[in-house]
Amino acid sequence: MAALAQSTRLDAFRLLVRHEPEGVPAGELARLLDIPQNTMSAHLATLSRAGLIVGERQGRSILYRANLDRFQELTLFLLKDCCGGSADLCAPIIAALTPCCDPRETRQ
C-alpha cells in the first residue's frame, strides 16, 4: 500500500495497467509522466520491491509491466479483510467493480 500511496508511483502504476500486456519502457514512462529518468527509476524500484510491477531487460532499456496477479491478491485481501467475511458488506463493492472490470470486454 505504501508503494501506491505516493502520487507519481500511483500514476506510473495506472499507466502500466493501461498498457497491459505490452508494457512501457522506463524512459517512456518518465517522458509520459514528465519526470526525470533518475526519479522515475527510484519510483519503479519501489513498485518493483512491492511486487506491483515487473521489469524485463530488452537491450539497453527495461520494459515494465504491471503485475496484475499481485494487484488482484492485494485487492482481494483488502476486500476480505475489510468485509470481515460478511457477504452483505462485500456484495455492493463487488457489484460496483464488475461492470468496469469485465474480462470479456475488449480494450479499445
20-77 tens-digit pLDDT: 999 999 999 999 999 999 999 999 999 999 999 999 998 888 999 999 999 888 888 8
How many domains would you assign to the chain?
Answer: 2
pTM comes to: 0.78
Determine the structural domain holding residue 96 and report its residue range: 69-101
Q: What CATH number is given to the structural domain containing 51?
A: 1.10.10.10
58 and 13 in a common domain:
yes
9-13, 46-50, 51-55, 83-87: lowest mean pLDDT where?
A: 83-87
Instruction: Answer whether residue 88 is part of any domain.
Output: yes
Cα Rg of the chain, angstroms? 16
107 in any annotated domain: no
Quick one: 59 and 76 in the same domain?
Answer: no
Q: Is residue 26 part of a domain?
A: yes
Question: Is residue 13 in a domain?
Answer: yes
- The answer on 62 and 23 residing in a single domain is yes
The runs of H, that is alpha helices, within the chain are 2-5, 7-18, 26-33, 37-49, 68-83, 87-97
